[in-house]
Amino acid sequence: MSGNVEHNSRRGSKSAAPSPVLLKICDVIKEEVDWLWFQRIPKGKLTIIEGDPGQGKSWLSLAITSAVTCGTHFPGQPPRKEIIPADVLLLAAEDGAADTIRPRLEVMGANLERVSILLAVKDSEGQERHLSLVEDLSAVDKALSEGQYGLVIVDPLNAYLGTQLDTHKDAAMRGVLTPLTRLAEKYNIALVCIRHLTKSAREKTIYRGQGSIAYTAAARVVHLVGTSPDNKEERVMVCTKNNLCPLPPSFAFEISGTEFKWKGEVDVDVERLLKADKDGRRTALENAMDFLSEALAERPRPAKDVMADAEHAGISERTLKRAKKELNVQANREGGSKGHWIWSLPVDVKESKSEEDDIWTSLEKSPEESQKAKMSNSDTSEQMTLLDCLPPPQE
């Protein structure tokens, strides 16, 4: 008898199995999509604006900020009786508040009283640190609860994902983007995140953004920003994904000195925009250098993973090697002689040549020469480990 009691006690101590949370569709009240910018930026959902550096994504986000704080109509938006001004919360990791953000907003006529920048978060000991959407979403929630916000801009999104999250894994990214989107839904605000593109011209548009495809999958609307193929002085915003309505017409804007101007609808599709951005502008080495800078910007990464991503982006091994040398990427072995190589960006930009560069060079020799070079060094385990993570020389 006591044995049965003990057995039942052990069973009772186990955690209860998770129970389902169900919603009957018949209980759902139908709603129309609430738009911040008609057919371009919805409220309560995630919108991504992506493009290469220097194409005006941040300018565009501040122009949107200005319109929201002043309650003005967006271009191409159906007239409404009244647009109520709203607050805007900025998470801006790249542009300075004093020398960039405020001057631009002033020129655009924004209501500066309605714009706040979330600079950092404080821990329990009062120490400030950079905000991570992985760990500090509650701080964003608290900030939104204390204002009359209509828009949150995260520029760029990858700068607020912490140091441990692997942005190339779908499950990891969905674990961040899903609760972030729910927060936008909770307050019925527009959530706009800025993302840089990779440099590969071989991939479809939806795969061009940095990191996992989960970014694009989570967003209800995605816009691509680039140089107009018809006028190099203009930038064009092309909608590449819209789950809420038909794709709206592309829209052009111009940045002249310190002024931002809306130009109107244009007949430019994504293929023309990407072709204009590609033609004659970048060499393979420049693309590979940008790829490496982006791939290692957040944290050091295993060499195998970087090389696999480079191959997927259409960058050859030889070009990746040249880019690695130009950027002076550092290679360090972790885990002893049986460990793996980790690549990282250098602390400074001084020219140096790592021991791994010699191994790269040996790969250009014949198979016999490569094997001889690999075994000639007294400390062969480090070189063999690196060679094992690279494709073998061709016979």
User: What is the distance between the alpha carbons of residues 256 and 140, in angstroms, rounded to a whole number?
Assistant: 34
At 179 the pLDDT is: 94
Name the pTM for this structure: 0.66
Q: If you search the block for the tokens 């924004």, which residue do you land on?
A: 110
Tell me what pLDDT residue 276 has: 63
Supply 18's token pair: 């998770």
Query: Which token pair is 57?
Result: 């994504």
The structure tokens listed for 268 are 């430019």
Residue 251, strand partner residues: 237, 265
**Residue type at position 33:** V
pLDDT for 393:
43
Q: How many CA atoms lie within 13 A of 128 on its CB side?
A: 3
Q: Residue 222 in contact with residue 239, Cβ under 8 Å? A: yes
- What per-residue confidence (pLDDT) applies to 232? 85
The whole-angstrom separation of Cα 79 and Cα 65 is 19
Choose among 48, 68, 53: nearest CA to 108: 68
Per the listing, tokens 């159906």 go with: 78
pLDDT of the chain along its 395 residues, tens only? 444 545 454 454 567 899 999 999 999 999 999 999 999 999 999 999 999 888 999 999 999 999 999 999 998 887 766 789 999 999 999 899 999 999 999 999 999 999 999 999 998 888 999 999 999 999 999 999 999 999 999 999 989 998 888 877 878 888 899 999 999 999 999 999 999 876 554 444 444 544 556 788 889 999 999 999 888 889 999 999 999 999 999 999 999 888 999 999 999 988 888 776 655 455 678 778 888 888 888 789 999 889 988 887 778 888 898 899 889 999 988 887 778 899 999 875 334 334 444 444 444 444 454 454 445 444 433 343 444 444 444 43
Q: Biggest alpha carbon distance in the chain?
A: 87
Distance separating alpha carbons of residues 201 and 288, to the nearest angstrom: 12
Domains defined for the chain, CATH in brackets: 30-280 (3.40.50.300), 284-344 (1.10.10)
